[in-house]
Amino acid sequence: MTNQQQLWDDEAARKYDTPGEGMFAPAVLGPTVEVLSKLAGDGPAIEFAIGTGRVAIPLSEAGVRVSGIELSHAMISRLREKASERHIPVVQGDMTEAVAGENFSLAFLVFNTIANLLTQDEQVRCFQNAARHLAPGGRFVIELWVPQLRSLPPGQGGTVEVSKPGYLLVDTYDVLHQHVISHHVRFGPELSDGRESRIGRTPHRYIWPSELDLMARLAGFELESRWADWDGSEFTGESRSHVSVYRLTSP
């Protein structure tokens, strides 16, 4: 977990928010908040890896009582610039073990963040911790990408995922350990520090949907629904991501 703390430092927290654009665009946040609000109903919700409040703040504004768990001190500090502890309480700690209350009607972990846990054991413990926070029948929602191993060229260990002016994203795979490292290459005159380029790397452990379902079962959940996106579109063999809703069936 120390490496994750280093990844999400003050600089990362400052650059994380892009108001009105990217993952902060209304077209992205609107459907997310709508679905989570309906699933929470009249009960409280807890977000694992709450970050700077990208989802938690608009969800709270929609009338849902939201709490959070977050590992990064820097991300919490950024959140506190926008929402007080009274408004959105947050426990600083590891989402596999930190406790922020109980009897929540909804727990959620969005934007591929469960993949930040780099071992299968940690990912299972994340499900178990979600179960500890939920009331009987509560739901745990995970948004996650589908591993794109079919796009790997024969004999090659990497793919170019994004190529646009000033930015290149290359993913390299270790298929034995289900690890992928995303290499973020930024270049061009928009770099404020005068350098010609900058490279950042983020490690992940990818999870197949069926493996995720088994992790859920080990923690007492069952799959209730799965969509390709927050708009409820059908999940198919060609889908590049999914939103999975699990219901807690046993303590």
The domain locations on the chain are: 2-147+207-248, 149-204
Residues 155-203 pLDDT 10s = 889 988 899 988 899 999 999 999 999 998 988 766 655 567 888 899 9
| pTM for this model (two decimals) | 0.92
Residues 103-125 pLDDT 10s = 999 999 999 999 999 999 999 99
Pick the more confident residue, 120 or 17. 120
Question: Model confidence at 4, in pLDDT bands (50, 70, 90)?
Answer: low
Q: Ramachandran region of residue 129, left (φ > 0), alpha (ψ -120 to 50) or beta?
A: alpha
Q: What percent of the chain has pLDDT over 70?
A: 92
Q: How far apart are CA 105 and CA 46, in angstroms?
A: 9
By residue count, the chain amounts to 251
The tally of CA atoms less than 13 A away on the side-chain side of residue 205 is 15
Q: 2-147+207-248 is classed in which CATH architecture?
A: 3-Layer(aba) Sandwich (3.40)
From residue 146, alpha-carbon distances to 139, 240, 241 in Å are 21, 5, 5
pLDDT of 18 = 84
Which string of DSSP letters, residue by residue, matches 132-169? HHEEEEEEEEEEEEPP-GGGSPTT--EEEEEEETTEEE
Contacts for 92 with CB less than 8 Å, ≥ 6 apart: 70, 71, 73, 76, 98
